[in-house]
Amino acid sequence: MKIEAITLREIQMPLVHFFETSFKRTFSRRILLLTVHCDGIEAWGECVAGEDPFYSSEWIESSWPTIKQYLAPAVLGRTLATAHESVALMAKVRGHRMAKAAVENALWDAEAQEKQIPLWKLLGGTLSEISCGVSIGIQDSIEQLLEKIQTELAAGYRRIKVKVKPGWDVNVLERIRSRWSEILLSCDANSAYTLDELEHLRKFDQFNLLMIEQPLWHDDIYYHSRLQQELRTAICLDESIHHARDAAKALDINACRIINIKVGRVGGFTEARTIHDICASRNIPVWCGGMLESGIGRAHNIALSTLHNFRLPGDVSASKRYWKEDIIEPEVEVTPQGTIAVRNEPGCGFRVRKDLIEKLTVRQETIRAGA
Ligand code: OSB
Ligand code: MG
């Protein structure tokens, strides 16, 4: 495929309900979408960098110029046999993994469209339906949170994950467990604690959690291994796993027993797959994380989740939990059994609603080969 042009677009989409983590309450998303134009095909990618450099150092205002000035020029004008080849072309740029993933993943979509096969098959996926959980943010009251959990359980979701932070943790987990003693339950601290809080973190052990996600510093692996030795609950790393070596290192030193794979955080499908394979070879289950994606990122997460070692329910859920109207058709829907059935159309499996995207676009820029 000959890469002729890349279009960057920022769309703005209000969330149906605010989403609060230990670092921020988000009401509306600013999403960077990328279109690759090649051989008459239009292929899409979503950059999961946030509105602020809080989850990671990347944010929409770092990703846009990095793609424009470095990543797009590295691939434009080239003829690639596979999307995978783009990784080496962009390798000179250090970090900026979410920006790289947006480019690489759009190229995977292009390759799948060109070969007329579903993206999930091109990635080597084997599962025909994926298992879904939900991530529920910090609410204004515990009652509100319990109500949300009730709604999601009734919808069929197979795992509930709640966001925690100091002051919204043990008290909250206690209330959840006293109402639902058996459900698959986990929590995500997004780095809200330090090792000084070990005695407090030990209290989490009483709730029979599937895992505690990223309790310590966003860039730490070593101290998580010290913490894992002290806890019965499995630690799952999210923020601090940037590439396959991080995953291997974390497993070498027993820093976690589960890994959350976010394709944007690790720089694209190629690296995500490598991490998946490393975990599979060590019998470590993985699951697919979410970044409040629009339908395009959501479709890519579904495709990734069909790899066999995605053995735990992911944070990949229905479009309607986030958006009044999603930018793909059909929207992502979840069955009453808490699954998403993969689609067998070529490419990402969903039609991109360009009319709606046009309406939501606040800026756009097309970069061409040699320009
Ligand atoms: O830590 O998994 C996280 C959203 C934004 C930033 C970080 C995280 C999250 C989520 C949302 O938990 C998951 C979703 O998209 O549903
Ligand atoms: Mg997380």
Per-residue pLDDT of the chain (371 residues; tens, 9 = 90+): 999 999 999 999 999 999 999 999 999 999 999 999 998 999 999 999 999 999 999 999 999 999 999 999 999 999 999 999 999 999 999 999 999 999 999 999 999 999 999 999 999 999 999 999 999 999 999 999 999 999 999 999 999 999 999 999 999 999 999 999 999 999 999 999 999 999 999 999 999 999 999 999 999 999 999 999 999 999 999 999 999 999 999 999 999 999 999 999 999 999 999 999 999 999 999 999 999 999 999 999 999 999 999 999 999 999 999 999 999 999 999 999 999 999 999 999 999 999 999 999 999 999 998 76
CA–CA–CA angle 15, 18, 24 (5° rounding): 120
Q: Which atom of ligand 1 is nearest to the CA of 134?
A: 16
Pairwise CA distance, residues 322 & 335, whole Å: 17
Instruction: Find out whether the beta carbon of 290 lies less than 6 Å from any atom of ligand 1.
Output: yes
Please give the structure tokens belonging to residue 267: 């720089």
* Nearest Cα residue to atom 6 of ligand 1: 291
Ligand of minimum distance to the alpha carbon of 48: 1
Whole-structure pTM value: 0.97
Q: What does DSSP assign to residue 2?
A: B
- pLDDT, tens digit, 9 for 90 and up, residues 288-318: 999 999 999 999 999 999 999 999 999 999 9
Instruction: Find out whether the beta carbon of 289 lies less than 6 Å from any atom of ligand 1.
Output: yes
Ligand 2 geometric centre to CA of 5 (Å): 34
Instruction: Find out whether the beta carbon of 55 lies less than 6 Å from any atom of ligand 1.
Output: yes
Confidence at residue 303, expressed as pLDDT on a 0 to 100 scale = 98
Ligand of minimum distance to the alpha carbon of 23: 1
- For a mutational test of ligand 1's pocket, the pick from 16, 17, 21, i.e. the residue with the most ligand atoms closer than 8 A to its C-beta, is 21
Confidence at residue 371, expressed as pLDDT on a 0 to 100 scale = 67
The residues annotated as belonging to the active site are 163, 262
Strand duo 339-341 + 129-131: pairing: antiparallel
Confidence at residue 370, expressed as pLDDT on a 0 to 100 scale = 79
Confidence at residue 362, expressed as pLDDT on a 0 to 100 scale = 98
* Nearest Cα residue to atom 4 of ligand 1: 291
Instruction: Find out whether the beta carbon of 135 lies less than 6 Å from any atom of ligand 1.
Output: yes
Burial pattern 144-164, b for ≥16 Cβ within 10 A else e, equals ebbebbeebeebebbbbbbbb
Q: Which atom of ligand 1 is nearest to the CA of 238?
A: 1
Ligand 2 geometric centre to CA of 188 (Å): 6
User: Which of 16, 27, 3, 34 shows the shortest CA–CA distance to 357?
Assistant: 34
